[in-house]
């Protein structure tokens, strides 16, 4: 009985020993596994960081290479598709190409026509400009060669009273100082009075101040007036006269100058304003 109990105790000890050994083995294995996993995790993190750094440095060139490769592949696919399409469609594409070529030709012809039209317009404008320049030149030549109107004395004699538009001269008839809008040329009674320049007889009348008066219009806005005449029977109103043509004779019909000797009262106007005749008579 004792031996059996002893054997049973020894068996139990052996069982417990095996169990404890098994548990210890399991614990050690778990520790070893944990240590191994920790080391692998650390190494993995290091490798990940290294790979991440390398990828950051090489991202741009790799992307560029990938993009270029992708573009090449796409272009190759497109070209191959076009080749296949061209081979399969044949005549239809040729007709479409012919239509496109015709459209391009038409557009080119339109552009050419527009260019020709623009060129023609430019040429016309240049011709118009040249014509205008020629006209201006001709006008300038005509203006340069245009002869200024020249006047001769209407009667031979001495100037006894001068032009006094901005000053005063003494009037023997009025016995006062007054303005004098022309000149008085002393001459014998019935002396011939001549037109100072070519023109047209504007009027023949009896002026209440200066007596029998003939007025002649000339070129360039000039007007001549012959007063205190004895006669004016040689011309009529509206008649064209030439320089030196007889228009009347010297008298003493001017009421404002009746106290003076026989003379011609002569006035010269430019654009309606009295000017000094002595500055223009030759």
Listed by start position, the domains of the chain span 2-57, 158-279
Lowest mean pLDDT among 28-42, 43-57, 66-80: 66-80
Q: What is the mean pLDDT of residues 161-168?
A: 92
Please, which pLDDT band fits residue 73 given cuts at 50, 70 and 90? very low
Residues 6+ apart with CB under 8 A from 189: 230, 249, 250, 251, 252, 262
Of the candidates 225, 227, 228, 184, the one whose C-alpha atom is nearest the C-alpha of residue 202 is 225
Q: What is the mean pLDDT of residues 261-274?
A: 95
pLDDT at 84: 36
Contact assessment for residue 183 and residue 278, using Cβ atoms and an 8 Å cutoff: yes
Distance CA 267, CA 271 (A): 13
Distance CA 240, CA 54 (A): 114
Strand partners, 169: 178
Of the candidates 267, 249, 268, 143, the one whose C-alpha atom is nearest the C-alpha of residue 209 is 267
Judged against a pLDDT cut of 90, whether residue 282 lies above it is answered with no
Q: How far is CA 46 from CA 41, 53, 58, 63, in A?
A: 9, 11, 18, 25
Name the DSSP letter for residue 278.
Answer: G
Name the DSSP letter for residue 134.
Answer: H
pLDDT at 114: 54
pLDDT at 66: 42
Please tell me which of 75-79, 174-178, 273-277 the model is most confident about, judged by mean pLDDT: 273-277
> Torsions phi, psi of 73, nearest 5?
-65, -40
Judged against a pLDDT cut of 70, whether residue 98 lies above it is answered with no
b (16+ CB within 10 A) / e for 113-144: eeeeeeeeeeeeeeeeeeeeeeeeeeeeeeee
Q: Is the dihedral of CA 265, 271, 272, 274 positive or negative?
A: negative
Judged against a pLDDT cut of 90, whether residue 156 lies above it is answered with yes
Choose between 43 and 214: higher pLDDT.
Answer: 214
Prediction pTM value: 0.50
Contact assessment for residue 267 and residue 137, using Cβ atoms and an 8 Å cutoff: no
Judged against a pLDDT cut of 50, whether residue 87 lies above it is answered with no
Choose between 119 and 261: higher pLDDT.
Answer: 261
> Torsions phi, psi of 200, nearest 5?
-130, 135
Distance CA 225, CA 230 (A): 14
Of the candidates 228, 233, 234, the one whose C-alpha atom is nearest the C-alpha of residue 251 is 228
**Farthest-apart Cα atoms in the chain, separation:** 206
Q: Is 175 helix (H, G, I), strand (E, B) or coil?
A: coil
pLDDT at 139: 57
Contact assessment for residue 210 and residue 266, using Cβ atoms and an 8 Å cutoff: no
Q: Provide the percentage of residues in the chain whose pLDDT is more than 90.
A: 40
pLDDT at 243: 97
Choose between 155 and 134: higher pLDDT.
Answer: 155
pLDDT at 48: 58
CATH 1.25.40.340 correct for 158-279: no
Judged against a pLDDT cut of 60, whether residue 19 lies above it is answered with yes
């Amino acid at each position: 009985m004792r031996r059996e109990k002893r054997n049973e105790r020894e068996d139990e000890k052996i069982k417990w020993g095996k169990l404890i050994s098994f548990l210890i083995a399991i614990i050690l294995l778990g520790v070893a596994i944990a240590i191994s996993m920790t080391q692998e995790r650390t190494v993995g993190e290091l490798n990940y960081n290294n790979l991440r750094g390398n990828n950051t440095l090489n991202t741009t060139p790799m992307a560029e290479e990938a993009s270029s490769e992708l573009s090449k592949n796409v272009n190759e696919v497109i070209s191959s598709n076009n080749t296949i399409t061209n081979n399969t469609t044949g005549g239809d594409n040729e007709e479409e190409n012919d239509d496109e070529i015709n459209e391009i030709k038409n557009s080119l012809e339109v552009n050419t026509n527009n260019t020709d039209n623009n060129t023609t317009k430019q040429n016309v404008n240049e011709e118009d400009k040249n014509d205008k320049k020629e006209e201006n030149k001709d006008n300038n030549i005509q203006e340069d060669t245009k002869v200024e109107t020249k006047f001769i004395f209407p009667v031979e004699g001495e100037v006894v009273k001068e032009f006094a538009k901005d000053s005063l001269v003494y009037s023997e008839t009025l016995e006062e100082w007054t303005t004098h809008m022309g000149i008085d040329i002393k001459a014998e009674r019935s002396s011939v009075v001549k037109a100072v320049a070519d023109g047209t007889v504007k009027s023949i009348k009896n002026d209440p101040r200066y007596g029998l008066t003939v007025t002649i219009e000339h070129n360039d806005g000039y007007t001549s007036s012959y007063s205190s005449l004895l006669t004016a029977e040689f011309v009529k109103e509206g008649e064209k006269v030439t320089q030196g043509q007889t228009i009347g004779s010297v008298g003493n019909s001017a009421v404002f100058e009746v106290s003076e000797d026989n003379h011609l009262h002569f006035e010269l106007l430019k654009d309606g304003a009295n000017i000094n005749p002595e500055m223009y008579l030759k």
